[in-house]
Structure formats: structure tokens, C-alpha cells
């Protein structure tokens, strides 16, 4: 007995031909260009920014600040999946325009979440990476849709998805012809309530063994608490993550969403420095 | 610290005005017509059928058989969310046509899952109830889309969604103007592996206390094993469920999906009989 | 990969000889006398009482009241396992004496929790059933110790134990020569926080299939909330439980422990009545 | 609503006086001597050895080998908690004697699990650290018993215990007068089945914030798979662990228990080397 609806079919398929996500050799590694750097290389990359795009000026200010610290890609939500329909839902297309303008000014790559499969053409005008959020990890219509795009896809693990389900979700994208999928571990739902989620560090070596796709870590969602982001970031890179996705906000206590887990630019500067040491210890650079 | 992204906003909203799903009095109860019966009344309803629509003849045969046993609505998947992209994905629009033909012949209401928000108009031509599957419980684009339909929505609980998240997902539909939401408990994901999911019987009285929406139980997914469906069905109705959603297949071992948890028509006949006794014990009928 | 330390050994053993807990035929059923009734028979039994033994008079009063309503065994903690060392730890041996006096007066069987393996002889002087609490389900020294007693053992499922681990814990008792083990489902730990635990109703038919031991349900711990105890009690008996273990307190709001989940004698009277109807519906009596 | 039986009492106590485990200042740190080194200092310590003590010669051989690589304490089970009563239960007192002999020869500190509260005096004759296993984390009789010993206590987190419950379990020991408690994160039980447990890296900074007690990490149980032990060890030390508890076996495939998660001495040598680099990166040494 198991949790997979499709266990039988999955295994039959495996026997016939390996999955597109499967690592065929030790050296096989997908690399994806982000801004001026390459994810999946010996360099550990930083993707950072606020949870939500709140205003154009906010994004410009934080983007310059983050770029100077070595960040490669700016994250920020234009369309926000919120548990309640009455919570702030994001500034939508207007926010996409702002993000494109920030890219123009700073050269940072833009990563933002897409929820509607029919908005892929719109997003393609403005952004560099299509993010699929945890709640949509098994939204197969959306996965097939971004699988037909030329843009890389940042796929976040579902909050209660097994690693096998996570990999099979990436297969939905890959099988449509898009080879550029970034896997992002962002914490799973457990009984523990001292943290918002439990960052699954085990997933990093498990994914490394099973797939050639690059692996990001999101300690902001993985802990849900700015106090713990630094320690878990160090742990994730030490365990082998190719990059970090971090929520940074100039004034976390005023953020429209996720303020508890956002760190300040000052804290982020310290994080970059410490990650530099860890990267060095595992024979990488930042 | 908690699991809700929107805890603050949620609570602020609650303070200002109750949710549309909130029960305002002991007697308040939403009722929804299904075929010739009413869900949310003193009658316990049966919704049954195979996991996937496999052929027109299969659906006609099972529909007549189930109708004769007292079933109100026929379930069957035309578009199937499958963990692997290489598993059977459903017969799509053709299956919708077959389902409409079965409705024509038998008078059974048709319940089937919708995954693409842009297919609502197509589904409206063929079916009676739009089902939102567990994996899409927080697909907010889809929820808003079915919230604009005239058809009732059968919302399945996400496999690791809290009851509060489940209710807030229903609010996405209700807040778009569609008052007819059916909540379906279908088991949650836990560490236990003797069953596919853990049917959360506690959710039945919790939902009953918090909302006026009708409550279905799905012991097929809740257990994942045909051997346990009957006992858990009895338990769910004894605890207060308004109806049961049961996977029935003429030859479970040949089913294209979910064969392990499908019961045969003969077993279903026994189930209806036993549920009749339980319904009577809680002052209801079938 | 799985959660069982001993998977290999377990399976080898199974192949060689079935476990003592294993059901060998449909009719095989262990029965255990409790007071004037028999657990594991067609009668559904009630075991009830306060969480902690607070005073002799409290126990005498509640015992007479419960006996009159049809209760077979009185529960009450003399030694209390508490998460904090500074919480009330029970009245100890004095409480055992009070319990014995209540038995003398009322004829109710006495069920109470034992935590120290070396106190078995002391407990044997005063009580009828040795309860092993959830936190001690894999306290193998304690299990072996009660396995050498003549008294029946009420074994509560660990809060995150699989059903297989639960059965193997019973095997520790059985293999020491004590054939009288009562299995008690009391809810498992999940992500859901609307209830204290998630009552695992699936466990009832799974246990029924795998073992001949009698099965109790504890909806008080299974829900952690007095408002939901009645509905889940009905569900458990409908699903096949042989008896219910219910926390009843004359003034729940003043209870020294577990007040939130204790029901009043008035609520318990209603519960007995409703369970009578459910028992009848499943061809049993109370 | 929450999972703590004693929430009210816990909070009342907190208000009145902080717990003994509570960190009162940034610098407060309990240190514990182990062999020739000090746990809780700037040095990252290694505790290693086989799951079970299988023979005297096995222990002597591995002890010399591990000592030469920098290990401080030898672990090995004399009394084994096994899910099935028919699995190997350990060599008992004989194994304690062997361990004492190894200590004599090598100077390594001896860490071994105690399950019976009445065996404390026996263990005190032979070993240096009393280990409380996951299954006994809330065996309060045992906790009180080791709380009266002069030996340090290595307390493993329960497999589904919250961090708060873990800390309160340590309080049971501390409140009996024993100030030397070592907290060990060893993975928690989740839905994920690609690994035996989910190593909770978040727990490291959370514990660091809340307590002055030293923190060990056990990636062997935390992953359950020798392939992932190295990566998670690096992560744990990068996140701030004071030491590692690692299962090492000369021939894992022949181990009497836990062979899947045991690494070889050769793999351990590589681990020590890599941890040296990580320790350096976080301003520590090995």
C-alpha cells in the first residue's frame, strides 16, 4: 500500500524507459542561465526579493541593493496565491511591468509566480523565470502550459508532496519540451509548530542522486521565521544546494505578506558573507 | 507560529464580517438538488461510479445498475489528474459527451472533475456538478472560475489542507457569487501506510459546527482499499455526513485507475443496505 | 525504504510463523471480562471516568452515576504522564486505594495507567486492567513487565505509531504469556490543528482484519474537544469498535487535566442513548 | 487548540519562573566533557560506532579505528529497543562489560542506551553517557531515574515530538538535579518515504535560541540511508550542531541492526575530513 495513485503505471514506465528527469551519469547536470550567472554550475546563486511586489519604487530600491550584494535574480509576486480570498492578491499585470522595468535598469533576472495557464504569453513579455508555487505543484494544466514555454520554470515542492511526486511534476514540464526546470525545496508540512514548515534537508542529496536538474533551497518558507533563515541557508548549501531563494524586505514588519519570514538587507548581507565561507568549504564559490 | 500565510488578515476579516461559509445559526443549512433528491436534507445521498470514464457502454451499464440501487449522481473522470504524465489522462471531451448521454437515459446527475479554468463553459454543456480535486483545492484561478458558474461545485479537501484552509477555499467560490458548494472529506496524508490516506472523521463534526455547507464523505480515497470502504462509510454517516461518494467498478481489477479502492456493484448493494440502517439510527433516511 | 527498523526480521518471522496477534480465521475473537460484561462480544462496552483521580469522593460520586448509565469499567489516572514535570502528576498509590474502594462499592472494573514496570505487583492489588499510555507504547521494558501479569492490558496506540508497530507492541505483551490485550485507537498526530489529534477511523477495520484482539475507541483523546466526542463515538461504533473509552467529569472546566475534552455526565447519558441506536444498526447491543 | 496536554500549566509555569533548560543570555552554554574533549565548546565532536554491540572484538577493532580518526565517544547498543519482540534485543550486561573494556583500552567515552529505570546503577559501573532513545523520550519514569544519576544524559528527540515537548522532556532530567543533558535531533516522522525519517534541520537554530544545552545531530537515523549521511552531516554542522552521532560499521551489510544507514570506516574518514572544512567555515574546529 502506498501514496501513489499511479504506482503501477509509474513502475511500468520506469521499466520501459527512464524519466527525462533521471540522472544517467554522475556528471550529468542541467545548467540554466540566470542574469549574468549560471545555475547548476560550481557557483552558488542567490535569488532574492520581497514576497509581494508592493510598488515600483520598492522594487527598484531593493533591486539595486541586492544586486550590489551579488544577487543574480530578483523575486517578487505579481499574482499572489493567498489562503483567504480577502487577503492582498497582488498588483497583477502592473507589477509585471514594474518588474520588467527593474530588469531593464539592473540586469537582474526576474522570477515571479504564474497561476493561470493562459497567462504564459503575458509573462513571457516581462519575466525570465516562471515560478510554480507549492499549491500548484500538481496543477497539471499549468505544468503542461509552462512546459510549452521557452522560459525556465522554477518548480516549488508541494507542501506535502513526496520527492517522487515532485520529480514526476517536473516530468510534466520536461515532457512538453521545456528542458529547463529548477527544483526548489521549500519545507514540508509536519506536526511541528515551532516553525511554519519543516525544511527537508534530506531532499537535497536525494534529489542530487536521482536527477540532473538544479536544486534551489528556500529557507524563508522552509522555516517561516527570519531568525532561523541564516542557519538553514548555511545548512542547505553545505548539503549541496545550487542556490538560495530568500525573501528580503526593507521593512519586514510592514510587508503586505510573509513579513515574519523576511530578512532585512543588512541581514542578507551577512548571509551572503557566511554562505561564501560555506561554499568555499564545499569547493564552490559565490 | 502557525501554518497560515494569511492568519493576520484572516482574523481581521473575521472580526469585521463573518465568512460566507460561516454557520450563523443551528438551523442554517445549504441544500443542493442532485438528480431527484436534495443534498443537505434529512436524506443521506449516494454519489457513485468508476474513477475514470473508460467507455460509453461501461457508463451506461453501471449507471442503470447504480440507479436501481438508489444512487442519485454518477461520478466518473473525463479529465484525470495523474501523478505521472505517462499515466492514462482520461478521454476528455468525448467522455463528457458520453456522460451527458447517460444523464439523458437515466436521469442521474453527473459529477466530474474540472482542471482547466477555461473549460467551465464546455463542462456547463454536459454536466451537473463541477468537481475540484484534492490537488487543486488551492488552485485559486480555478476556484474563482467555478465561482462564476451556475453549477454546484463539489470541493474535495486537499490531502494536506487544514480544515480552515478547506473552508477558505470554499470561500473563494462563494465570494464569486456561487452559493452551491459541497465539501468533501476524502482523507489526509499522514505517516500511516497501512491505508492510502487517513480518513479524517473528526472533520465531519468540525465542519458541521463551522459551516452550513453540505458535507460529503469519500471513503474510497479515504482508505484507498476496497476492504475498508464499507466500515468507514458506516462511520462517516454515523458521524453526520450528508452523503457518500463511492468508487464502484464492474471489474475493479481491470480499472484504468484506482482499482484497489473500487468496490463491485454487489458490494455497493450491501453498502446501501447497511447505510440504510445507520441513517435510521441517526434519524435520517436514504 | 520504510519506517520499520525491523522490517527484514519482521517479514522473516511472519513467513516462518504467524504472530500471536494474527487473526487465523473469521470467527477467531479474543474476549475479556470487564465487570459484569464481556469485551469482544456482541455487546458494545463503555469504559468511562475522569482523566485524573482527583479525590475519593469525586470517584465515588461519578462511579455511581456512570454505573447507573450502563458503564462497565471506571477509568481514572493515579500516575499521570504529563508533558511538563511541573504539571499535576497524579495522587499515586493513594489514588489506587481509592479506586479499589470504588470497585468494592460499585462493582465496576478499574482501569488505570501504569508507567513504572516495577509497580506491576502494586497495581495488581488494586486494579483490574493495566493501561499502557500512548507515550509508552514502545516502552518495551514496561510491555514485557505487564506481559507477565495476570491482568488484562489496555494498550493505547502511540500518537505516531503505525498500525503495524501497534500490533507488534501487543506482541511484546502476548509473547510473555499474557493473552489479554485490548487495543485502543486514540487518535494520531497530524498537521491538522482544529483538533488535538486525528482519530484514525480506518484503523478499526484494518485492526479487525489483522487481529483477533478486541478494539476500543477513545474519541476523547481522538478529538481533544468535548464538542466532537459524540459524533466520533457514533462513527467508531458504526465502523466496528467493541467499546468506547470516554473521559467524563462532573465539572470539566475544573478538571486537573484534560478538561477541554471531558464531557459531563448529562452529555454522556445522551451518548449512551445514541450509541444504543448505532449498536442496534450494526447488529449489536449495549 | 493544540497538541500539548499541559499547555495551560506550561504557560503558567513559564510566567512564574523560566525553565531550567531556558537560555538566559546569549553566552550561556552548558558544556559536557566527553573523553578528552568538551561538547558545547568551539570544537565539533564526533560520537560514532555500530548500532548494536555485536561482539567484544568488533568493538575493540572499530574503537581503535575511530579513535585514530578523531572520534571522542563510542556508541553501541547493549539493550536494543526493537519494534518486534523477535528481533535481536542486544547482548545486555555482557555488552556493557565489553564496552567498559574498550574504554579502558582506548580512552574513548562510552555512550549506550538505557531502557530500564532500575538499571541506572548497573550502567553507572560501565558507561559514561546514558542515552535515552526516541521511543522513550516521554518515558517519564526513566527520565526521572536518569535525572538522579551523576552521568550525562544523551536525550534523543521522539520521532513525533515537537521541539517544545523535547525541551520539556529535558526538564524532567534537569529538575531531578542532573544538569548535563545533551539534546539530539535524529529526524522526525513525516509522510515522506524516500528516507526513513526527515532530519529536522530547523530544530538546530530553534534549540540554539531556546536553550543552553548542547545539540547533537544524528544523520544516520535522520536519513536512514548511508548514501545521504555525509550531505546531511555537513548541513547539520553548518547549521550549528555541536557534534555528530554517526553509525559506523565495518561491514554494514552484515550488521545485526540498522545496516542500511551505517557507513563504513572509509566513508567515515571522508566525513571527518569534510566536516573539518565546514567547521572551519563556521569558525569552529574539529
Residue A17 burial (10 A CB sphere; 0-12, 13-18, 19+) = exposed
Residue A166 lies in a domain: yes
Residues 129-158 of B with CB under 8 A from A: 135-136, 138-142, 144
pLDDT in tens, A205-263: 999 999 999 999 999 999 999 999 999 999 999 999 999 999 999 999 998 888 899 99
pLDDT in tens, C209-229: 999 999 999 999 999 999 999
The three cell numbers locating residue D160: 513525533
- Write out the residue range of the structural domain in which residue C95 sits: 28-281
CA atoms within 13 A on the CB side of C109: 25
Contact C134, C158 (CB under 8 A): yes
- pLDDT of B231 higher than 90: yes
- Which of the residues A161, A191, A194, A224 would you substitute to probe the C interface, choosing the one with the greatest number of C C-beta atoms within 10 Å? A191
Contact C264/D at CB under 8 A: no
- pLDDT of B7 higher than 70: no
- pLDDT of D3 higher than 60: no
- Residue C176's φ and ψ, nearest 5 degrees, are -90, 0
Q: What pLDDT is attached to residue A18?
A: 86
Which residues on chain B are in Cβ contact (under 8 Å) with A136?
A: 138-139
The dihedral over CA atoms of A212, A214, A215, A218, expressed in degrees to the nearest 10, equals -160
Residue B19 lies in a domain: no
The three cell numbers locating residue C128: 483490574
| DSSP code, position B128 | S
Residue with grid cell 500471536, as numbered in its chain: C20
Helix or strand run (H / E) with residue B130: strand B129-132
Length of chain C, in residues? 286
Which residues on chain D are in Cβ contact (under 8 Å) with C195?
A: 1
CA–CA distance, D175 with D20 (Å, rounded to integer):
7
Q: What pLDDT is attached to residue C17?
A: 61
Residue D155 lies in a domain: yes
User: Between C258 and B17, whose confidence is greater?
Assistant: C258
How large is the ipTM?
A: 0.94
The three cell numbers locating residue C38: 464481556
| DSSP code, position D169 | H
* CATH number of the domain enclosing A36: 3.20.20.70
* C-alpha distance from D105 to closest chain C C-alpha (Å): 32
Local confidence band at C258 (pLDDT 50, 70, 90 cut-offs):
confident
Residue C66 lies in a domain: yes
* C-alpha distance from A16 to closest chain B C-alpha (Å): 11
pLDDT in tens, D226-252: 999 999 999 999 999 999 999 999 999
Q: What pLDDT is attached to residue B18?
A: 86
Q: What pLDDT is attached to residue A12?
A: 42
Residue B14 lies in a domain: no
Asked if the Cβ–Cβ distance from D160 to B189 is below 8 Å, we say: no
Q: Left, alpha or beta for C240 (phi > 0: left; psi -120 to 50: alpha)?
A: left
CA nearest A221 in D: which residue?
Answer: D202
Nearest to C6 among D87, D118, D189 (CB): D87
**Cβ of C168: how many Cβ atoms within 10 Å?**
26
Give mean pLDDT, residues C79-106. Answer: 95
The three cell numbers locating residue B16: 469585521
Question: Model pTM greater than 0.90?
Answer: yes
Q: What pLDDT is attached to residue B55?
A: 94
Which residues on chain D are in Cβ contact (under 8 Å) with C196?
A: 1-3
- pLDDT of A123 higher than 90: yes
- pLDDT of D10 higher than 80: no
B163 in helix, strand or coil?
helix
Residue A140 lies in a domain: yes
pLDDT in tens, C152-193: 999 999 999 999 999 999 999 999 999 999 999 999 999 999
Which residues on chain C are in Cβ contact (under 8 Å) with D175?
A: 85-86
Residues 158-177 of D with CB under 8 A from C: 159-160, 165, 168, 171-172, 175
Give mean pLDDT, residues D7-23. Answer: 63
- Which of the residues B158, B163, B187, B191 would you substitute to probe the D interface, choosing the one with the greatest number of D C-beta atoms within 10 Å? B191
CA–CA distance, C47 with C39 (Å, rounded to integer):
10
Contact D2/C at CB under 8 A: yes
Asked if the Cβ–Cβ distance from A231 to D208 is below 8 Å, we say: yes
Instruction: Return the closest-CA partner of residue C268 out of C229, C214, C222.
Output: C229
The three cell numbers locating residue C274: 445514541
The three cell numbers locating residue B20: 460566507
- pLDDT of C16 higher than 80: no
Q: What pLDDT is attached to residue D273?
A: 98
Asked if the Cβ–Cβ distance from B209 to C227 is below 8 Å, we say: yes
Residue with grid cell 536544486, as numbered in its chain: A215
Contact D94/B at CB under 8 A: no
CA–CA distance, D218 with D237 (Å, rounded to integer):
11
B88 in helix, strand or coil?
coil
In chain B, helix, strand, coil percent, each to 5? 40, 20, 40
Contact D202/A at CB under 8 A: yes
| Strand partners for B39 | B32
Asked if the Cβ–Cβ distance from B198 to C188 is below 8 Å, we say: yes
Nearest to D9 among C5, C10, C86 (CB): C86
CA nearest B230 in C: which residue?
Answer: C239
CA nearest A261 in B: which residue?
Answer: B5
Contact D2/B at CB under 8 A: no
Could you tell me what percent of chain D has a pLDDT over 70?
94
Residue B15 lies in a domain: no
Give mean pLDDT, residues B34-62. Answer: 96
User: Between C3 and C89, whose confidence is greater?
Assistant: C89
Q: What pLDDT is attached to residue D17?
A: 61
* C-alpha distance from A211 to closest chain D C-alpha (Å): 14
Give mean pLDDT, residues B101-116. Answer: 97
Asked if the Cβ–Cβ distance from D204 to A238 is below 8 Å, we say: no
Helices and strands, counts by H and E, chain B = 10, 10
Query: What CA–CA distances, in Å, run from A257 to A246, B51, B263?
Result: 14, 39, 46
Asked if the Cβ–Cβ distance from D85 to C139 is below 8 Å, we say: no
Contact A195/D at CB under 8 A: yes
Give mean pLDDT, residues A98-123. Answer: 97
B258 in helix, strand or coil?
coil
Mean pLDDT of chain D: 93
Contact C81, C135 (CB under 8 A): yes
- Which of the residues D83, D159, D190 would you substitute to probe the C interface, choosing the one with the greatest number of C C-beta atoms within 10 Å? D83
Contact D281/C at CB under 8 A: no
Q: Where are the alpha helices (DSSP H) in B110-225?
A: 120-126, 140-146, 163-174, 203-210, 219-223
B31 in helix, strand or coil?
coil
- Which of the residues C3, C160, C191 would you substitute to probe the A interface, choosing the one with the greatest number of A C-beta atoms within 10 Å? C191
Local confidence band at D14 (pLDDT 50, 70, 90 cut-offs):
very low
Distance of CA B104 to the CA centre of its chain: 22
Give mean pLDDT, residues B101-112. Answer: 97
Local confidence band at D6 (pLDDT 50, 70, 90 cut-offs):
very low
Give mean pLDDT, residues A86-106. Answer: 96
How many domains are there within chain D?
1
Mean pLDDT of chain C: 93
**DSSP code string of chain A:** --S-TTHHHHHHHHHHS--TTB--STT----EEETTEEETSSBPEEEEE-SB---HHHHHHHHHHHHHTT--EEE-BSS---SSTTS----THHHHHHHHHHHHHH--EEEEE---GGGHHHHHHH-SEEEE-GGGTT-HHHHHHHTTSSS-EEEEPPTT--HHHHHHHHHHHHTTT---EEEEE--B--S--SSSSB-BTTHHHHHHHHB-S-EEE-HHHHHS-HHHHHHHHHHHHHHT-SEEEEEB-SSGGG-SS-GGGPBPHHHHHHHHHHHHHHHHHTT-B-
The three cell numbers locating residue A126: 516581462
User: Between B210 and A7, whose confidence is greater?
Assistant: B210
Give mean pLDDT, residues A24-37. Answer: 94
> Judging by DSSP bridges, how do beta strands C32-34 and C37-39 pair with one another?
antiparallel
Which residues on chain B are in Cβ contact (under 8 Å) with C236?
A: 235
Asked if the Cβ–Cβ distance from D189 to C160 is below 8 Å, we say: yes
Contact A2/C at CB under 8 A: no
Give mean pLDDT, residues B10-20. Answer: 60
CA–CA distance, A59 with C281 (Å, rounded to integer):
65
Contact C208, D124 (CB under 8 A): no
Length of chain A, in residues? 286
Q: What pLDDT is attached to residue B31?
A: 98
The three cell numbers locating residue D237: 554542522
CA–CA distance, A167 with B137 (Å, rounded to integer):
21
Local confidence band at D259 (pLDDT 50, 70, 90 cut-offs):
confident
Residue D103 lies in a domain: yes
pLDDT in tens, D167-218: 999 999 999 999 999 999 999 999 999 999 999 999 999 999 999 999 999 9
Q: What pLDDT is attached to residue A17?
A: 60
Amino acid at each position: 500500500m502506498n501514496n501513489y495513485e499511479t504506482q503501477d503505471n509509474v513502475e511500468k514506465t520506469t521499466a520501459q524507459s527512464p524519466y527525462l528527469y533521471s540522472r544517467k551519469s554522475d556528471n550529468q547536470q542541467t545548467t540554466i542561465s540566470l542574469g549574468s550567472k549560471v545555475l547548476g554550475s560550481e557557483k552558488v546563486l542567490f535569488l532574492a526579493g520581497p514576497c509581494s511586489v508592493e510598488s515600483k519604487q520598492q522594487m527598484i530600491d531593493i533591486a539595486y541593493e541586492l544586486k550590489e550584494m551579488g544577487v543574480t535574480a530578483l523575486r517578487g509576486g505579481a499574482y499572489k496565491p493567498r489562503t483567504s480570498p480577502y487577503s492582498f492578491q497582488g498588483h497583477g499585470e502592473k507589477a509585471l511591468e514594474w518588474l520588467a522595468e527593474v530588469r531593464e535598469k539592473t540586469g537582474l533576472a526576474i522570477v515571479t509566480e504564474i497561476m493561470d495557464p493562459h497567462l504564459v504569453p503575458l509573462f513571457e513579455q516581462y519575466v525570465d523565470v516562471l515560478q510554480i508555487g507549492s499549491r500548484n505543484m500538481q496543477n497539471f494544466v499549468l505544468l503542461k502550459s509552462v512546459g510549452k514555454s521557452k522560459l525556465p520554470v522554477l518548480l516549488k515542492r508541494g507542501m506535502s508532496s513526496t520527492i517522487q511526486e515532485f520529480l514526476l511534476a517536473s516530468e510534466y514540464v520536461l515532457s512538453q519540451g521545456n528542458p529547463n526546470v529548477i527544483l526548489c525545496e521549500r519545507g514540508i508540512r509536519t506536526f511541528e509548530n515551532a516553525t511554519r514548515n519543516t525544511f527537508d534537508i534530506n531532499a537535497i542529496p536525494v534529489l542530487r542522486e536521482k536527477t540532473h536538474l538544479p536544486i534551489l533551497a528556500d529557507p524563508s518558507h522552509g522555516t517561516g521565521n527570519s531568525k532561523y533563515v541564516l542557519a538553514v541557508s548555511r545548512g542547505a548549501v553545505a548539503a549541496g544546494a545550487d542556490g538560495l531563494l530568500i525573501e528580503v524586505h526593507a521593512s519586514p514588519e510592514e510587508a503586505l505578506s510573509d513579513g515574519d519570514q523576511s530578512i532585512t538587507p543588512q541581514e542578507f548581507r551577512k548571509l551572503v558573507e557566511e554562505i561564501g565561507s560555506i561554499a568555499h568549504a564545499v569547493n564552490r564559490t559565490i
